[in-house]
């Protein structure tokens, strides 16, 4: 299982999304506003907006919040947001990609750099770690969607590249340019996904022990607490034993 998929499972078990519900809603609303501003305000005609709305619904963002975020784009709001990617290394040499959306590049860069330094990491130049990842489409389904064989067959028919299945659910991978078509085909077979988005998939991973994972979690948590940071991806790998110990903390 890819490192960041394991990370998602840990976050789910520890209830981090519930604990940061307001912050999460704010970040998803920002993504919806920017996506609608960059394209058509109709999700059916704007693949990026469609994915943003789907992700928001997956974590129970209220319908009126989603609609308000789209209306902001039509009112001329969200123009000043700039999408920036930061790259660096965390504890144990783990590669970290930070995706941000900001109206003040200097503020965000300073905060991200400070967070890396404070938690034992180093912020690098653009491209310093991206070569260790592949840009892919990621479609997630809960275990209730079907068994591994059922999801695998549906994914193959839809044109996906790979499927990872576990007790927590299924992650379907496809080419980034095929995400909209593959997700639409999967929905016809399996129903609505839990999440559909573009993601960085690790091509190589870095093994961490329990102490390393604890340090990495502190870094990722601190980065995600920044209002400008939309998503953090790492290439860690950890044994099932280590992941179980983390989940129990």
Q: What is the pLDDT of residue 173?
A: 96
Q: Assess whether 215 and 110 both reside in one domain.
A: yes
Q: What is the pLDDT of residue 12?
A: 47
Q: Assess whether 41 and 160 both reside in one domain.
A: no
CATH of residue 184: 3.30.70.980
Q: Assess whether 64 and 158 both reside in one domain.
A: no
Percent of the chain with pLDDT over 90: 54
Q: What is the pLDDT of residue 159?
A: 97
Q: Assess whether 189 and 97 both reside in one domain.
A: no
Query: And the tokens for 81?
Result: 């947001």
- Which CA distances in Å does 110 have to 49, 93, 114, 122, 163? 29, 21, 6, 13, 38
- Cα–Cα distance measured from residue 20 to residue 89, given in angstroms and rounded to the nearest whole number: 25
Taking Cα atoms as reference points, which of 21, 23, 29, 45 lies closest to residue 77? 29
Helix (H) or strand (E) holding 197: strand 195-202
The pLDDT tens digits for 22-77 are 788 888 888 898 888 888 888 888 888 888 888 888 888 889 999 998 988 887 76
Percent of the chain with pLDDT over 70: 90
Q: Assess whether 119 and 214 both reside in one domain.
A: yes
Q: Residue 114 sits in which domain range?
A: 82-127+204-248
Band (pLDDT 50/70/90 cuts) for residue 2 is: very low
Count up the domains in the chain and report the number: 3
The pLDDT tens digits for 76-121 are 765 678 899 999 999 999 999 999 999 899 999 999 999 999 999 9
Beta strand pairing status for 162-166 and 169-175? antiparallel
Q: Assess whether 48 and 62 both reside in one domain.
A: yes
The pLDDT tens digits for 163-220 are 999 888 999 999 999 998 999 999 999 998 888 889 999 999 999 999 999 999 999 9
Q: What is the pLDDT of residue 3?
A: 44
Q: Assess whether 213 and 110 both reside in one domain.
A: yes
pTM: 0.85
Band (pLDDT 50/70/90 cuts) for residue 16 is: low
Phi, psi of 194 (to 5 degrees): -80, -30
- Flag whether pLDDT at 11 surpasses 90: no
């Amino acid at each position: 299982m890819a490192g960041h998929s394991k990370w998602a499972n840990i976050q789910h078990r520890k209830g981090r999304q519930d604990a940061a519900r307001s912050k999460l809603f704010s970040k998803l609303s920002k993504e919806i506003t920017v996506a609608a501003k960059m394209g058509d305000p109709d999700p059916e005609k704007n693949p990026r907006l469609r994915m943003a709305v789907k992700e928001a619904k997956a974590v129970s963002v209220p319908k009126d919040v989603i609609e308000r975020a789209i209306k902001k784009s039509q009112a001329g709001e969200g123009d000043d947001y700039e999408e920036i990617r930061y790259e660096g290394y965390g504890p144990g040499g783990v590669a970290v990609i930070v995706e941000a959306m900001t109206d003040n590049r200097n503020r965000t860069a300073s905060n991200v750099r400070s967070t890396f330094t404070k938690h034992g990491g180093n912020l690098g130049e653009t491209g310093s770690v991206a070569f260790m990842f592949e840009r892919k489409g990621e479609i997630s389904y809960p275990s209730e969607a079907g068994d591994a064989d059922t999801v695998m067959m549906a994914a193959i028919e839809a044109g996906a590249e790979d499927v990872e299945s576990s007790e927590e659910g299924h992650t379907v991978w496809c080419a980034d340019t095929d995400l909209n078509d593959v997700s639409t085909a999967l929905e016809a077979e399996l129903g609505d996904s839990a999440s559909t988005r573009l993601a960085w998939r690790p091509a190589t991973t870095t093994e961490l022990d329990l102490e390393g994972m604890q340090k990495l979690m502190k870094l990722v948590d601190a980065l995600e607490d920044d209002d400008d940071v939309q998503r953090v991806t790492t290439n860690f790998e950890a044994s099932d034993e280590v992941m179980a110990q983390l989940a129990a903390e």
